[in-house]
Amino acid sequence: MSGLKKILGLLWIALGPVIIVFLFMQAADKIGEAAEGIARTNTTLQWAIIILIFIPICTGLVIFGYYAWKGEYDHLPESSEEL
C-alpha cells in the first residue's frame, strides 16, 4: 500500500502544474473567442477568478503529493494517543 501512495504522490505532483497550464490555455481560448466590449471584460474577470481560486488548490495538491512521495503517510495514527 505504501508503494501505491508513493506512486500516487508523484501523480499528484505532476497533476498540479498540468491543471494550471490547462486552465490558462482554456482561459486564453475563451477570452479570445469572446465578443468585444463588456462580454470580453466579463469573460476575463470570470477566468481570472477561476484561476485565482485554483492556484492554491493545485499548490496544496503538489504539497500533498510531495508528502505522500516522501512517505509521510506510511503510518497513520490509529488513536488520539499516537498524535
Enumerate helices (H) and strands (E) in the chain, giving the number of each: 2, 0
CB 22 within 8 A of CB 55: no
The whole-angstrom separation of Cα 7 and Cα 1 is 10
**All structural domains of the chain with their residue ranges:** 3-70
Q: Which three cell numbers stand for residue 20?
A: 494550471
pLDDT of residue 81: 83
Distances (CA, A) of 33 to 25, 28, 36, 44, 78: 12, 9, 9, 11, 53
CB 47 within 8 A of CB 27: yes
- pLDDT tens string 30-61: 998 887 889 899 999 999 999 999 999 999 99
pTM of the model as a whole: 0.82
